[in-house]
Amino acid sequence: MPDHTTVPDHTTVPDHTTVPDHTTVPDHTTVDVRRRVSAVLRRFAGSRGALLRGIDDDLIPFVRIATEFLLAEGKRLRPAFCYWGWRGAGGPDCDEIVTAAAAIELLHACALIHDDVMDASDTRRGRPAAHRRFSRVHRTAGWRGDPADFGRSAAILLGDLFLAWADELLAASRMPPEALVRAWPTYGRMRSELMAGQYLDLVGQAEAGPHGGLDPGRAVRIARYKTAGYTVVRPLQLGGLLAGAPPDLLAAYAAFGLPLGEAFQLRDDLLGVFGDPAVTGKPTGEDLRDGRPTGLLALALTRAQPAAAARLRTLISPPVRRAGHPEDAGQPENPGYSGGPGCSPGFGPTENPAARAARVAEARDIIAASGAVAAAEERIAARTATAVEAARRADLDVTTLAALTELAMAATSRSH
């Protein structure tokens, strides 16, 4: 199937989940889709959870953590883009497309859980990350072995389960078989691109350092594949293909989704450094701690004075060895660092908290002084405008155009 980008029981039930609305999106568009998707996930998690609990009582906490993660408050942007990709291609409002769109949220849940494991994140959506919760299960039960190792392993399994559930839910959406055949290659490509973008993110962290360069091009590629592709472009195209969209509409979805996805990622970058943890649900500074090659960091390094840029590179230098590994024999310890796997100088899960706070604060100050924040805001506005203009040029009905415009604003003018 050609690549249309410019780069390589399902009845509706009332959903009483409280979903905070941080945008001006009308209830009949994004918020309504969000509630319907949450209802699908609640039913699906309930039925599959019952099957797992029937296997063994030891799976009860596993099912509880899985269900609570899926039903936690989320933006549900990816299912919304899938839904409106379907509507834009002439598909009617129906339960089948909401169910199919909900499958993308399961894929997103897989990505979030694995991302938290790789980043050693403590929280997600204002709650302990899945691997931290599984560690607590181990510790409370008094089992042998390392609770942290158990937590990471269990979280990886949970992410894998969500990936399998995504396939299962899409296949069970009651979409016509010919529609699923049309859409499945793009669904597969979306999953592959997500993993490719995640791996590029890991490579970027490994390569960057005080004496190395942070490649702005890599930050763009990561944003394109890890974020733009599976957040906007592919969900839109998946919905479109399910409805039989022609190639020109699929290309229009890409023209809308690529710049919007890049703007979405830049907003994430800003929130990751300057956001309010009480609103974002995650601590600030993790991108700086890990030396993640973000677009914001690339902007700061190109705009800061040479001495400030050099200092910033030192502050964000990522880990190069794992403490306790045989290859670390004879290596000097890092100042301000108390050891632990995957920790950088002064940063990481087991670092001195005061040292980490000081380093993150200094890195944040350099970024702010460089003018990168204003540059990022300008780029977000420009890329969002490009996306909206692309949607206006597409052959879309008035309702779909309004919904995509509202979604674009919701994706880029957010506080979480």
pLDDT value of position 416: 67
Looking at residue 332, what is its pLDDT? 39
Which tops the pLDDT comparison, 60 or 25? 60
pLDDT reported for residue 283: 78
- Confidence (pLDDT) at 351: 58
Best CA proximity match to 106, nearest among 171, 176, 20, 17: 171
How far apart, in whole angstroms, are the C-alpha atoms of residue 197 and residue 224?
A: 8
348-362 average pLDDT score: 75
**Per-residue DSSP letter, 30:** I
Residue 352 has pLDDT above 80, yes or no: no
Partners of 128 in the β-ladder: 123
Residue 391 has pLDDT above 70, yes or no: yes
Architecture of domain 27-296+368-412 in this structure: Orthogonal Bundle (1.10)
Residue range 112-127: average pLDDT? 90
Note the pLDDT of residue 307. 96
Work out the mean pLDDT of the chain and round it to a whole number.
Answer: 84
What's the pLDDT score for residue 6?
37
Q: What is the pLDDT of residue 34?
A: 92
pLDDT of residue 335: 40
pLDDT (tens digit per residue) in 1-38: 444 443 333 333 333 233 233 333 344 456 689 999 99
- pLDDT at site 203: 83
349 confidence band (pLDDT: 50, 70, 90): very low
- Whole-angstrom distance, CA of residue 267 vs CA of residue 381: 10
- What pLDDT score does 5 carry? 42
Task: Answer whether residue 396 shows pLDDT above 70.
Answer: yes
**Which residue type, as a one-letter code, is found at position 371?**
G
Cβ–Cβ < 8 Å for 274, 282:
no
Question: With DSSP H G I counted as helix, E B as strand and the rest as coil, what are the percentages for the chain, rounded to 5?
Answer: 70, 0, 30
Residue pair 352/346 in contact by the 8 Å Cβ criterion? yes
- β-pair type (127-128, 123-124): antiparallel
Nearest Cα neighbor of 407 from 380, 384, 377 is 384
CA separation for the pair 155, 143 (Å, rounded): 17
Q: What is the pLDDT of residues 85-95, one digit of tens each?
A: 999 999 999 99
Q: Which helix (H) or strand (E) holds 352?
A: none
Beta strands in 120-279 (DSSP E): 123-124, 127-128
Asked which of 131-135, 169-173, 315-319 is least confident by mean pLDDT, the reply is 315-319
Express each pLDDT in 243-280 by its tens digit.
999 999 999 999 999 999 999 999 999 999 998 888 88
124 beta partners: 127
Instruction: Map out the domains of the chain as residue ranges.
Output: 27-296+368-412
For residue 219, pLDDT beyond 90: no
Question: For the residues 49-61, what does the mean pLDDT come to?
Answer: 96
